[in-house]
Amino acid sequence: MPDHTTHQKTRTVVVTGGTRGIGKAICLAFAGPDTRIYFNYSSSASAAVEIEKIIGDAGGFAKGMQVDVMSGKDVESFFGKILEESGRIDVLVNNAGIARDGLLVRMKEKDWDDVLDTNLKGAFLCTKIAVKPMIKQRYGRIINISSVVGASGNPGQANYVASKAGIIGFTKAVAKELASRDITVNAVAPGFVETDMTGALSEKAKEVLISGIPLGRIGKPEDIAAVVLFLASEGASYITGQVVHVNGGMYM
Ligand code: NAP
């Protein structure tokens, strides 16, 4: 069997939502002299420039683009530019996500649509385009960021939980479709991770959450990035269609 990563000198990695939190940690974890990193974001242009600089100064390559993952047109032009410059896509990490929490009875239709469109449709749009070069290459690694609540459920997050459970089903279906082309598709389900998304929680709420985590701490974005990096490595080449829970034991 060919060893694609060693035959392919430079690998191209695409990370959605790479400007903050988990996505930023994923971009930094992948950075290296033989990796071209493309990431997108919704509005954080200055954060994108900073990440490009950190990775560039360390001898790597990273390029951020403002691309709304909800828009098929935006996504098409994003991948078009990547393919024009790199000619291939080795790894896709579907990470961009939002939460618009509220109890079901009060949930606005727009909050349902925005969350499903960003978290689930966004992954569909990006994956659909990225798999075309992967199929031609007969190689690819797709890693979708789900959430512990996609498996456990959570009150006040019907939209978010539906999107993250949807990501798990999507992962399994696409894994079965693409396995014959040596494309693996897996999901990582983070628990409670310290990012802007969870930053709004009060100290009291955080204490309660931590008391339910056997490892006794909130996760760091780097805890998630390390698992994503592994799933994209040759060591993970026999893993597909799986959900890897990274949550300090809060859900088993
Ligand atoms: P975050 O800090 O809020 O960052 C979200 C990222 O997604 C940002 O880069 C943001 O860009 C980008 N983004 C949002 N909407 C977008 C859109 N329509 N198009 C393109 N980019 C968009 O989030 P995070 O906590 O790192 O979460 C990352 C992923 O992990 C999400 O899928 C989330 O659901 C999942 N997750 C997080 C936790 C947690 O505890 N934090 C737990 C489980 C799962 P801008 O910077 O421009 O806004």
pLDDT at 2: 41
Q: Tell me the C-alpha distance between 244 and 146, whole Å.
A: 9
- CA 149 vs. chain centroid, Å, equals 16
Give SS3 for 238: coil
How far does the centroid of ligand 1 lie from the alpha carbon of residue 132, in Å? 25
Is 41 a pocket residue for ligand 1 (Cβ < 6 Å)? yes
Homologous superfamily in CATH for domain 8-246: NAD(P)-binding Rossmann-like Domain (3.40.50.720)
Neighbours of 134 (CB within 10 A): 22
How far does the centroid of ligand 1 lie from the alpha carbon of residue 192, in Å? 13
Question: How is 63-111 classified by DSSP, letter by letter?
Answer: EEEE--TT-HHHHHHHHHHHHHHHS---EEEE-------B-GGG--HHH
Decide if 89 contacts 83 (C-beta within 8 A).
yes
pLDDT at 200: 83
Q: Would you write out the chain's pLDDT as a tens digit for each of its 252 residues?
A: 444 444 467 999 999 999 999 999 999 999 999 999 999 999 999 999 999 999 999 999 999 999 999 999 999 999 999 999 999 999 999 999 999 999 999 999 999 999 999 999 999 999 999 999 999 999 999 999 999 999 999 999 999 999 999 999 999 999 999 999 999 999 999 999 999 988 888 899 899 999 999 999 999 999 999 999 999 999 999 999 999 999 999 999
Neighbours of 19 (CB within 10 A): 24
Beta strand 91-94 with 11-15 is parallel
Measured over all CA atoms, what is the biggest interatomic distance in the chain, rounded to whole angstroms? 54
Amino acid at 215: L
Is 10 a pocket residue for ligand 1 (Cβ < 6 Å)? no
Neighbours of 9 (CB within 10 A): 7
pLDDT at 8: 66
Is 147 a pocket residue for ligand 1 (Cβ < 6 Å)? yes
238 in active site: no
Tell the residue nearest (CA) to atom 4 of ligand 1: 20
Amino acid at 81: K
Of 147, 183, 176, 143, which Cα lies nearest the Cα of 164? 147
Is 166 a pocket residue for ligand 1 (Cβ < 6 Å)? no
pLDDT at 224: 98
Decide if 189 contacts 150 (C-beta within 8 A).
yes
